[in-house]
Structure 1
Amino acid sequence: MEQHIVERALARLDLDAKTRLLAGQDLWSLPALPEIGLRSLVMSDGPIGVRGTAYTAADPALALPSPTALAAAWDPGLARRAGLLLAQEARRKGVHLLLAPTVNLHRSPLAGRHFEAYSEDPYLTGEIGAAYVMGVQDGGVGATVKHFVANDAETDRFTVDNRLSERALRELYLAPFEHIVATARPWAVMSAYNQVNGTTMTEHHRLQVEVLRGEWGFDGVVVSDWLAARDTVRAITGGLDIAMPGPLTVFGPALAAAVRAGHVAEATVDEAVRRVLRLAARAGLLDGAEPAVAADALPADIDGRRLAKEIACRSFVLLRNEGGALPLTPAPGDGVALIGGAAREARIQGGGSATVFPGRVVSPLDALGAALPRLVYSAGADPHDGLTLAGQGFELRGVLRDAHGAVLADQALGDGRIRWMASSLPGGVGFQALDSVEITGVYTPEESGTHHFGTKGIGAFRLVVDGTVLFDGVHRPENGDPLEALTGRPVERGSISLEKGRPVTVSLLAAEPKMSYGPVEGVAFALAHRPPGGHGEALIEEAVAAARTADAAIVVVATTEAEESEGFDRAGLRLPGRQDELVHRVAAVNPRTIVVVNSGAPVEMPWRDEVAAILLSWFPGQEGGDALADVLLGVQEPGGRLPTTWPAALADAPVSTVTPEGGILRYDEELFIGYPAWDRHPVAPAYPFGHGLGYTTWEYEDMDATAERVRVRLRNAGSRPGRETVQIYAAPVGAAEDRPARRLVGFATVTADPGEGVEAEIALAPRAFQVWDAEENRWSKAAGPYLVHASRSAAHDLLAASVLIDPESGA
């Protein structure tokens, strides 16, 4: 029935209407075609929330923990519930297609968008990603699996040519996409910016047409990453269906002209339009077609705050717990010191297009202050060692003017950032009428000394503080990234001596405020600031004094948006500012020092052997503070296991190169990223893939295994109820040099009360005993003997069983 309705609608469209349907009509939507009963399809960024079509806190969205956190729970069921919740959020905001999940791999810890992907392992990534997609689509909203493919770093992301072998492509980077297509049937796949082996992904006929659609049977749409489509003919013949954003894009009128000129067959356009109409039908936007999920079949509403907190608790990874330092069980008279700037200003998410604006955020200080009557807080060290958006102490407005200097609109700002699209300027101001924008107001310093000011954005700026011109010039992007105005780092422009408590005027005038790249038009720039650093020592001394007299010291350390964000890769893995020094000095005076690491990706922890406990909280979402309090106090168990290996130092990481040479980034490591690389590495990591402790102990008693499934019997041998993640690895006996020594092939979580025994039955991955045969261009069974391990991490095997894979059998 759906196909008949799609064909009938297609037959009623002329060439111009068809090609218009393949191009965005604006930043986030496709055009409606009332003549065939088609309504506009709306898209939105994810993956931790549904931002909607406005990039503003005026339209709040629920903020879940980061994808690395979701993967750390090792629970597809939990990921599916997260997807259901996000579908609920999407329906609330009128969104039909969620641009998530990101299933690229953690090839290197330097990748700036590491927090937005799940894991270094393709199997774990595929399982979590498939469950997330199923949850979103169970809620009647489409999911978009991205970024297809090998989009594993940010440096020169628009132009980089990633060179890798067919075997690495198949066994690692394509594997999560293939699994998700086969098991979850996503409605969309997003084509990446980068090239793969010399061909831009939006034009990659072999991967998008021959592999994705031909081999795998994908029947959804392929949508470009924003601004990724560059050539009309190569994109449509290369398998791209939708070029976003619009209306100025390589499809639409440009595609109609290419058909009329004989460069593109109209039948090729028709195939793309069929897929778009099918997507619209699934979303309930095409008259006569039943939506994929009927309104009366939608799942019951989910308590978003409760699920956000549950995911955070389940994701926290207890890396170290000497002497049972956790959970905290303070006596009525015990005092606890909470230390760290990130304890007060919670870092809940990474930067870039994944950003959402929650209606509330619970910080560690909020939650622990409510839970612990004798809590003393000290900032200790600011995680920001560079410029940040003007915030505390600033009262700012955005003033829009025309070419004659007349004020068109005047809007209060929550911080020093302006980010307006051309179609939604304050006061209904027309984009063409706009000539300049000024961020202006008053700053009241909290400290005396030298204050540093800067700008973020592209164009001509004049920065004046207290009557002193600190900058009057032009900034242009160095790396050619057209989205630098949105994702780039602030640039320091000058400094000035200010007195504590004396208000001063501040003005940042953007004389060329209009940002335009293809169809993307708007205004995006920011005022940045850094206070004096002279009081850093005093703050650390104050924190050390508080820790010295406390029964326990909790130090929250964090990365910032300057380290982990879309648009650039990380320069290193060290914590910013003086946070490492802070931990060293606190640990020296308090043997019960507990460090909470608030980051989306690995960081170096040179103090890790000096502290009693380390708890990794990732970017924990809006309810992270409450989740942290529950886990620290033992109300909930930290349920997470590492989805990626954490090196002790960047120099130890097997892959630490994300910068192209001559425009080319070579994946010379082949299959050896993550724990397979560490298996043959001369240096051990700080914490291996799969590692994580709980508040109880487990005994693995017995296992049996076949090529299809494994049964593991285990017992909670501790004094508290607990959850365990059973990990199954297959290790070929006498593996060839070019083959990993082991691979994750299955996992399951179990729960048990003290003394209770449980059994985990785990189906093994279909590809557990296959490799890609590059000569035959097909999957091939890797016959021979294997050891199948039941493990607590990739480096901690507990039980083993032998399995023989017969080349003549179906295994």
Structure 2
Amino acid sequence: MIHAISKVHRLRSTLAIVLPLAILVGTGVTVAASPESAQADSTSKACPWMNKSKSPGQRANLLLDASTLEQQMRWLNEASANETNLTVFGSTTYPAQVACAPFTADTDGPMGIAYTPGVTAFPIPMAQAASWDERLTRAKGKAEADEAFRKRYDQLLGPAVDIVRSPWAGRNGEYLGEDPLLSGTLAGDWINALRNGNPGEPVAAVVKHYLGNNQEIDRSTSSSNIDDRTLHEVYSLPFAIANSIGHPAGVMCSYNQVNGKYACENPELLNGLLKKEIGFKGFVVTDNGSQHSTAASLNAGLDQELSLPKYFAPDKLHAALDAGEITKAQIRAAAFRVIRAKIANGLFDNPLPAVAQDNVRTDAHDAVALKMAEEGSVLLQNRNQILPLTLRNKTIAIIGPTASNTPTAGVSASTVCTSPLYGDPSAPNAVQCPNPVAPLDALTARAARNHDTVIYDDGSDVKRAARTAAQADTAIVFGYNVAGEYFDLPSLNVANNGDALIEAVAGANRHTIVDLETAGPVLTPWADKVQGIVESWYPGEAQGDALAGLLFGNVNFTGKLPVTFPKSIADLPTGAAPNAQYPGTFAGGSTTRTDPEAIRQVAYSEGLKVGYKWYDAQHIAPQFAFGFGLSYTKFAYSRLAVSTHYSSSGALRSTVSFNVTNTGRSAGAEVSQVYLTLPGTSGEPGKRLVSFKRQKLTPGETQRVRVVIDSSSSNRPFSVWDSDTKAWRIPGGKYAVSVGSSSRDLPLSRTWRIGGHSK
């Protein structure tokens, strides 16, 4: 939802904000003659919850002890919790908040700082995941936090770690792929960088969307029906991993129902799985409008309502209290979680600037966006080594509307810069991207260095485009789709008759390269007719420079797919839509809505067989496998060693070591992937990713890689969820570790036996 442009947020942009006394808090260093130290002491006496020597929990309790019930209620609403200097929010009036409670603000954050000019347009998170680069993810988090803070935001609604269950989903580009470990690990790194990347500018993260928010169609009127084991091993696992690594301030509950109960009033999900089992200590906040009750939500574990107060407004809370449906202790407990998280993430002690800056971009941030576009691009096909381009005094045809900054029927390079609002190409981007580096401009400039000539066609007339391609020595044709919030994809083919355009160009020029600019996996029925295929996703503001460097070989491809590309719709884990799995059914089995109030039932009957696990279990060859990505060099794996022992704490640990050698002539980076296959009696569908590591290697260089698979890790690498005992257990039997460059290219393997036990 468009969180940052609620009435409250629009109001704050027009008001002169009077900053609270908290801005005067000093550094905490004890220097007797320091005025700042004296001011800090004074503030701590007046507002003991501002004493940084106390724990976040102690400070939160001190604040609540000094609060009236209605002041406590303010923390249960996002707008009134943030805008501490205001008392009126829509039709609701609160008392003034206690002294020293700071002004805070949030906005959407997965793709960059949303809905405001003067910020960096990074590649979408799907491209970020395709880099498999934790260091680069941290660099993005640091850059994004700096921009957020200087725009007067200290909390971002993101990252989003929903698993890519189906390629139809409109928000797949906002997510980090189909695997829980990859998604949760990158999210955890991102969260840490937001909070800690810039001293004095902490930005808290709210991870979303919890849980089963895997389609946009009927997202508010559907139930994701997921069995208990799949819920634990697939859909909640990235949240658990992100929580363990990053300790986010908040978790956002989703619009949909899960097993017949709305996520934001689902006690099994919130109090049970999230807070008790996973051990999440922050607060749970709704998506915008995803709350449906007062007492049921609070009792289930919801702590805060997003945007203007409705169900958690004081009158509703008082009515629930009077009816005996909730207690004052529950209100205080919810407020405590919100306050403690804000303090723990530094929001009480690092006040936002008095005025938002117009332009917060920097050269360093732009460099991160370029690097992410380079590392996130995946070379899917390179027949006859058509890439890198080594043409001299030749002609290159560039074809397609997204190659240019000049719109064709409203479509241009800006269309695929980042995800658009509403999944509509005519809508603005969620992160503003008014003038990206267009591929046409960057490729033309780079080609000129080789004395090559570039000719262009916008692709609006297929026959004309084919004639243009025929005039060139090499053709580069762009295929795209448009995806975003509110709408799922109408097709898994590239948009705007793109398949016909690609086939026509390939028919006219046998040296054709396709650049895909899509939010997720698409069908590639023309793959056998072209020589090169690159997946650039939505590559951000530096898209042209990144693509030019990659295609001409100044930069090597290092990206790997975070999702599986199917050969056909029939191969998908959710089958050929429409059906009970996607988009779900109504009474009588119909997939068509006739009753606006009916709840669509979405059957997650594929269970654990999500993404590459489905293709492995069903013995289906994908078009392009999870983890796959070509390079301009080659890598060899050798000398696998595995040793297993139990730690003093009883954790099962397997150390996996192997060599990776660059056997080619170019420097490159390889993402080594380690998969574990559990015993056949475990009921697991094939292998699971348990570790990955990125290495940079010069030609001829060998590196020894060592990873530890630890049963106590948050990704539960050896374990399965036992729905009968409601516990994780390690099955006894034969285990196999496999190592290689993708889920379908694993040259090294080793088996060993483990005795089963609970852990």
TM-score, normalised to structure 1's length?
Answer: 0.75
Aligned equivalents of 1:683, 1:783: Cα separation in 2: 28
1:180-219 equivalences in 2 (<5 Å): 180-219=242-281
Aligned equivalents of 1:149, 1:582: Cα separation in 2: 39
| Partner amino acid, structure 2, of 1:577 | N
Question: Kindly tell me: are residues 302 and 380 of structure 1, through their superposed partners in 2, closer, same or farther at Cα, counting changes over 3 Å?
Answer: closer
* Structure 2 residue corresponding to 1:369, chosen from 440, 444, 447: 444
- Please give the secondary structure, in 2, of the residue aligned with 1:336: strand
Are positions 1:753 and 2:701 aligned together?
A: no
Aligned equivalents of 2:84, 2:323: Cα separation in 1: 25
Q: For 1:716-761, what per-residue CA distance to the aligned partner results, in whole angstroms no more than 9, with x for missing partners?
A: 110110111111111235455x321111111111111111111221
| Partner amino acid, structure 2, of 1:771 | V
Offset of 1:671 from its aligned partner?
0.5
- Please give the secondary structure, in 2, of the residue aligned with 1:764: strand
- Please give the secondary structure, in 1, of the residue aligned with 2:490: coil
Partner of 2:119: 61
- Please give the secondary structure, in 1, of the residue aligned with 2:98: helix
Aligned equivalents of 2:207, 2:629: Cα separation in 1: 28
* Structure 2 residue corresponding to 1:270, chosen from 325, 328, 332: 332
Question: Kindly tell me: are residues 120 and 755 of structure 1, through their superposed partners in 2, closer, same or farther at Cα, counting changes over 3 Å?
Answer: same
Aligned equivalents of 1:746, 1:773: Cα separation in 2: 23
Q: For 1:543-591, what per-residue CA distance to the aligned partner results, in whole angstroms no more than 9, with x for missing partners?
A: 222222322111111112xxx1211222321122222112112212322
| Partner amino acid, structure 1, of 2:585 | E
Aligned equivalents of 2:270, 2:341: Cα separation in 1: 17
Partner of 1:800: 749
1:272-671 equivalences in 2 (<5 Å): 272-286=334-348, 303-331=364-392, 333-344=393-404, 345-346=412-413, 347-352=416-421, 355-358=430-433, 360-373=435-448, 374-382=452-460, 536=461, 540-560=462-482, 564-656=483-575, 657-662=581-586, 663-671=600-608
Question: Kindly tell me: are residues 256 and 279 of structure 1, through their superposed partners in 2, closer, same or farther at Cα, counting changes over 3 Å?
Answer: farther
Aligned equivalents of 2:188, 2:732: Cα separation in 1: 28
Partner of 2:665: 719
Offset of 1:330 from its aligned partner?
1.9
Question: Kindly tell me: are residues 285 and 739 of structure 1, through their superposed partners in 2, closer, same or farther at Cα, counting changes over 3 Å?
Answer: closer
Are positions 1:764 and 2:709 aligned together?
A: yes
Question: Kindly tell me: are residues 586 and 359 of structure 1, through their superposed partners in 2, closer, same or farther at Cα, counting changes over 3 Å?
Answer: closer
Contact residue 96 and residue 283 of structure 1 kept, 8 A: no
Contact residue 447 and residue 454 of structure 2 kept, 8 A: no
Partner of 1:690: 627
Partner of 2:34: none
Aligned equivalents of 2:82, 2:692: Cα separation in 1: 38
Contact residue 27 and residue 246 of structure 1 kept, 8 A: no
Offset of 1:210 from its aligned partner?
2.3
Partner of 1:473: none
Aligned equivalents of 2:687, 2:620: Cα separation in 1: 18
Contact residue 573 and residue 649 of structure 1 kept, 8 A: no
Deviates more, 1:342-351 or 1:64-73: 342-351
Question: Kindly tell me: are residues 318 and 248 of structure 1, through their superposed partners in 2, closer, same or farther at Cα, counting changes over 3 Å?
Answer: same
Aligned equivalents of 1:796, 1:208: Cα separation in 2: 39
- Please give the secondary structure, in 1, of the residue aligned with 2:747: strand
Deviates more, 1:68-77 or 1:572-581: 572-581
Contact residue 326 and residue 634 of structure 1 kept, 8 A: yes
1:123-162 equivalences in 2 (<5 Å): 123-139=181-197, 140-162=202-224
Partner of 2:20: none
- Please give the secondary structure, in 2, of the residue aligned with 1:337: strand
- Please give the secondary structure, in 2, of the residue aligned with 1:25: helix
- Please give the secondary structure, in 2, of the residue aligned with 1:585: helix
RMSD of equivalent CA atoms: 2.2
Partner of 1:744: 689
* Structure 2 residue corresponding to 1:16, chosen from 70, 76, 90: 70
Aligned equivalents of 1:232, 1:375: Cα separation in 2: 66
Aligned equivalents of 1:302, 1:200: Cα separation in 2: 44
| Partner amino acid, structure 2, of 1:42 | A
Aligned equivalents of 1:632, 1:603: Cα separation in 2: 21
More strand by share: 1
- Please give the secondary structure, in 2, of the residue aligned with 1:259: helix
TM-score, normalised to structure 2's length?
Answer: 0.80
Question: Kindly tell me: are residues 171 and 799 of structure 1, through their superposed partners in 2, closer, same or farther at Cα, counting changes over 3 Å?
Answer: same
Contact residue 317 and residue 617 of structure 1 kept, 8 A: yes
Which consecutive unaligned segments of at least 5 residues does structure 2 have?
1-53, 87-95, 353-360, 405-411, 423-428, 576-580, 587-599, 644-652
Offset of 1:604 from its aligned partner?
1.1
Contact residue 740 and residue 748 of structure 2 kept, 8 A: yes
Partner of 2:232: 170
Aligned equivalents of 2:230, 2:85: Cα separation in 1: 39
Partner of 2:300: 238
Aligned equivalents of 1:778, 1:579: Cα separation in 2: 49
Partner of 1:454: none
Aligned equivalents of 1:197, 1:364: Cα separation in 2: 46
Partner of 2:154: 96
Contact residue 381 and residue 578 of structure 1 kept, 8 A: no
Q: For 1:182-239, what per-residue CA distance to the aligned partner results, in whole angstroms no more than 9, with x for missing partners?
A: 2211111101111111211111122211222222222111110011112111111111
Offset of 1:284 from its aligned partner?
4.5
Aligned equivalents of 2:435, 2:102: Cα separation in 1: 33
More helix by share: 2
- Please give the secondary structure, in 1, of the residue aligned with 2:79: coil
Question: Kindly tell me: are residues 548 and 282 of structure 1, through their superposed partners in 2, closer, same or farther at Cα, counting changes over 3 Å?
Answer: same
- Please give the secondary structure, in 2, of the residue aligned with 1:755: coil
- Please give the secondary structure, in 2, of the residue aligned with 1:609: helix
Question: Kindly tell me: are residues 726 and 284 of structure 1, through their superposed partners in 2, closer, same or farther at Cα, counting changes over 3 Å?
Answer: closer
Partner of 1:37: 100
Offset of 1:680 from its aligned partner?
2.8
Partner of 1:512: none
Deviates more, 1:768-777 or 1:74-83: 74-83
Are positions 1:70 and 2:70 aligned together?
A: no
Aligned equivalents of 1:29, 1:223: Cα separation in 2: 16
* Structure 2 residue corresponding to 1:4, chosen from 46, 58, 63: 58
| Partner amino acid, structure 2, of 1:44 | T
Question: Kindly tell me: are residues 248 and 379 of structure 1, through their superposed partners in 2, closer, same or farther at Cα, counting changes over 3 Å?
Answer: farther
| Partner amino acid, structure 1, of 2:432 | F
- Please give the secondary structure, in 2, of the residue aligned with 1:35: coil
Aligned equivalents of 1:30, 1:225: Cα separation in 2: 21
- Please give the secondary structure, in 1, of the residue aligned with 2:499: helix
- Please give the secondary structure, in 2, of the residue aligned with 1:780: strand
Partner of 2:319: 257
Contact residue 62 and residue 359 of structure 1 kept, 8 A: no
| Partner amino acid, structure 2, of 1:266 | K
Q: For 1:26-85, what per-residue CA distance to the aligned partner results, in whole angstroms no more than 9, with x for missing partners?
A: 79867665533112221100111112xxx45xx332111111111111122221221111
| Partner amino acid, structure 2, of 1:343 | A
Contact residue 612 and residue 626 of structure 2 kept, 8 A: yes
Which consecutive unaligned segments of at least 5 residues does structure 1 have?
293-299, 383-535
Contact residue 150 and residue 162 of structure 1 kept, 8 A: yes
Residues matched between the structures, number? 635
Partner of 1:732: 678
Offset of 1:20 from its aligned partner?
2.4
Higher RCO, Cα 8 Å, sep 6+: 1
Contact residue 60 and residue 356 of structure 1 kept, 8 A: no
| Partner amino acid, structure 2, of 1:573 | L
Aligned equivalents of 1:586, 1:243: Cα separation in 2: 52
Contact residue 144 and residue 186 of structure 1 kept, 8 A: yes
